[in-house]
Chains A and B, each alone.
Chain A
Amino acid sequence: MSPGESSAALSLRGLCKSYGPTLAVDRLDLDVPRGSFFGLVGPNGAGKTTTLSMATGLLRPDAGTAHVLGHDVWSDTVHAKQLVGILPDGLRLFDRLTGLQLICYSGLLRGMGRTVVTDRAHELLGALGLEEAGGKLVVDYSAGMTKKISLACALIHAPRLLVLDEPFEAVDPVSASTIRQILEGYAASGGTVILSSHVMDLVQRVCDRVAIVAAGQIRAVGTLDEVRAGLTLEERFVDLVGGQTDLGEGLAWLRT
């Protein structure tokens, strides 16, 4: 293991994944330094979710490696998984449990003691403004509340690395700023956050480092200012990813 890898919270090397003939992730390399607040941006279908799933042990890569704080996700699985908290996108929850039960389930599955789990779960519910909802079934939650309860599940074991897939989707502005505060405090205390999003503005505001992904590869990576290169993130993103159609005289019927 090179020293560069051990200092990274997450280090991906040559990750590949294809679904049938479609190459979703194509020899992707990425290093996320410890303590960074890292944004992964890319158009729909760029391979963000696939990459994050392979980095967290949810999806086995066709080739390549993933290390979390020096532990290989796919061979030193137990240690790697203890260090990571995940908020996946597009997967179900055990939603017939109440919010409180779901958080506790995530903690107990990791072998934590009941008293610790319950104390933390109540604190998390309080911090996320879910005290009232803690006794309701998760299946009856709104989309935003579901995101928040998933975040609580990801935080319960105090992970060193948080991997969040679209954490702000469907979350109202007030909750979003609560989540941001929690995450910023977490990063300031030495934790590492990786989040994926396609809301450039948000990534620009919260992340100190970004990577732009398109067609399963990293197009640009570095600190926010390095990647932006004097433009806004959105302009840079469109530059790099391309594909924006020049409307010209098209859709003329739409302009009244």
Chain B
Amino acid sequence: MVAHIVRLKWQLLRNGLLRSTPQLIGLIFAGLYGLGLLGGAMMGLIGLRFAVPSDVARTAIVVGGSALTLGWAVIPVIAFGTDETLDPARFATFAVPRRQLVLGLLLASLVSVPALVTALLGLATVITWSRSVLAVLVAPVAAAVGVLTCVVLSRVTTTGFSAVSRSRRGREALSALMLLVMIGVSVAGPSITKPLSTPGLLPDLADVLGWSPLGLAWAAPADIVDGAFGSGLLRLALATILLVVALLAWDFLLRGALENPRGTSVGRVRDTGLGWFGRMPSTPVGAVAARCLTYWRRDPRYLVSAVLILLLPLGLLLSSLTGSGSGWPLAMAPVTGYLLGWSMHNDVAYDGTAFWTHVATGVSGSADRMGRLVPLAAAGSVLLPVYATLGCAITGRWELWPAVFGVGLGFLLAGFAMSNVLSALKPYPVPEPGANPFSSPPGAGGLTVILQMVAGLGTVVLNTPALAFGIGALMGHSWMAWGALALAVVLGPATLVLGTRWGNMVYERRAPELLAELSRLR
């Protein structure tokens, strides 16, 4: 049975990779990049063998190992969504004895690229610690415990999270929570990283981490090398106990997943009226706009983008409050304009196959294109003047207001123009409706990056005139500020009209093909 589960995982991994050629190519590139990183890390670890004070090796391995362990616990949940390939709930209907299931799923989760990488790194630490006979004996055990702890912790967190996220409400609560954590990290981030760069702090950090659950296993061989046999063995014992506890916790969570494989949620009446559909003009454009406005509020995937768009410019503001009076706040409006315009370039993909409604009703391409822009156009009409004013007020360079606002407006309209064409031309995978909004669907890496780059470059190129004048104004030619605004006001709408026309043409020609692509993305 255990072998069956492992073979199943292997098969899933292989089939997942062989689904299509572009995916395979993307994977090869990602693989080469990853191999480079891995090779570098392993060379570093082997090099540490010869570092003269072994303290350097201890600090590097304990901090690195703790970070790795933390990553295993957290990243699968926030970055990739819960790993669905071997969702324990799917085994609910098979009478697999739980002991065997636990063992099978554990071994199966070792069959993955990250696990292989971690195991190789663990192996390299054995070389780092090959300074004494006893160390050579302890290091492999410690490395094995460390690697296994990584994998088990990731199982614990993913199984735990998927238990909560089995209902739609639980999932949405989770993404709200993650959003809060993200805001917290981005706000507190700068103040944390600053003291970290002061010398002497990393070894202290390593001392603390070495006794924390994250670093126990990684610090054990360091103690042995330093001759502190007692504390080394104690750490190893504690690390082993931790591994067992994590296994038991996972076993407990699995029981929940197997006994209640699908949660149910009862919907409540939201509103009995038409909502935005009652407020927008009753035309196809108004309908699309009302639908998008509703989605920006109700769909966690849109909420995440909304918060990110709001947050990034505020980060610029923060940097000026902590540092000296730099010019960064001036970039707030342009950055916001860019993000707002650019973020629409894959909007159709967020519809998923629900896009059939647009195809079936025969709504015109321009109505589909323009309606989608309404929510962000509304956001831009508030945010751009506010951020431009804020930026100028903080830096005291009021003469730049027309430039800052103009460049922002130019980016917004140029981004809209790009998006109107691109979103009809080529959708790329996004998290499915109701899925973890932070997850990135597998196998889309290459295409995603290329399309995002095209959208970004296009937006910048289309806005070059206003941008050039804006930079000129920043250099001190204050007359150019008004030039930037004038250029944005004249060229922006023209670009948008052209982009919408082109997007409309593309849409009218290949709406059914777009739908077919969307159903393939699933």
Q: Is the CB of B282 within 8 A of A114?
A: yes
CB distance from A226 to the nearest CB of B (A): 32
Q: Is the CB of B362 within 8 A of A91?
A: no
| B361 interface neighbour in A98, A101, A106, A140, Cβ under 8 Å | A106
What residues of chain B lie closer than 8 Å to A90, measured between beta carbons?
353
Q: Which of A80-88, A182-190, A234-242 contacts B (4 or more CB under 8 A)?
A: A80-88
Q: Is the CB of A139 within 8 A of B351?
A: no
Chief secondary structure at chain B's binding surface:
helix
Closest to A163 in B: B360
Q: Is the CB of A135 within 8 A of B271?
A: yes
Q: Which of B55-63, B129-137, B188-196, B287-295 contacts A (4 or more CB under 8 A)?
A: B287-295
Q: Which of A55-63, A166-174, A248-256 contacts B (4 or more CB under 8 A)?
A: A55-63
Q: Is the CB of A98 within 8 A of B282?
A: no
What residues of chain B lie closer than 8 Å to A94, measured between beta carbons?
291, 295, 351, 354, 357
Q: Is the CB of A117 within 8 A of B282?
A: yes
What residues of chain B lie closer than 8 Å to A77, measured between beta carbons?
362
Digitize B272-313: 1 where CB-to-A-CB distance is under 8 Å, 0 elsewhere: 111101100011101110110011001100000000000000
Q: Is the CB of A135 within 8 A of B291?
A: no
Q: Is the CB of A59 within 8 A of B274?
A: no
Does B204 have its Cβ within 8 Å of any Cβ on chain A? no
Task: Kindly state the separation between the CA atoms of A88 and B168 in the bound complex, as whole angstroms.
Answer: 24
Sorting the interface of chain B by its residue count into under 10, 10 to 19, 20 to 34 or 35 or more gives: 35 or more
Does A137 have its Cβ within 8 Å of any Cβ on chain B? yes
Chief secondary structure at chain A's binding surface:
mixed
| B294 interface neighbour in A96, A117, A153, Cβ under 8 Å | A96
Given A59-B516, A96-B295; A110-B354 close (CB under 8 Å)? no
CB distance from A146 to the nearest CB of B (A): 12
Does A37 have its Cβ within 8 Å of any Cβ on chain B? no
Task: Kindly state the separation between the CA atoms of A117 and B282 in the bound complex, as whole angstroms.
Answer: 10
Q: Is the CB of B512 within 8 A of A59?
A: yes
What residues of chain A lie closer than 8 Å to B84, measured between beta carbons?
none
What residues of chain B lie closer than 8 Å to A56, measured between beta carbons?
360
Task: Kindly state the separation between the CA atoms of A134 and B270 in the bound complex, as whole angstroms.
Answer: 9
Digitize B244-288: 1 where CB-to-A-CB distance is under 8 Å, 0 elsewhere: 000000000000000000000111111111110110001110111
Does B325 have its Cβ within 8 Å of any Cβ on chain A? no
Q: Is the CB of B274 within 8 A of A118?
A: yes
Given A94-B351, A96-B294; A109-B284 close (CB under 8 Å)? yes
Task: Kindly state the separation between the CA atoms of A132 and B299 in the bound complex, as whole angstroms.
Answer: 23
Does B515 have its Cβ within 8 Å of any Cβ on chain A? yes
Digitize B353-365: 1 where CB-to-A-CB distance is under 8 Å, 0 elsewhere: 1101111111100
Does B34 have its Cβ within 8 Å of any Cβ on chain A? no
What residues of chain B lie closer than 8 Å to A117, measured between beta carbons?
282
CB distance from A135 to the nearest CB of B (A): 4
List chain A positions with a Cβ less than 8 A from chain B. 56-60, 77-78, 81-82, 84, 86, 88, 90-98, 100-101, 104-106, 108-114, 117-118, 132, 134-137, 139-141, 153
List chain B positions with a Cβ less than 8 A from chain A. 168, 265-275, 277-278, 282-284, 286-288, 290-291, 294-295, 298-299, 351-354, 356-363, 367, 433-434, 512-513, 515-516, 519
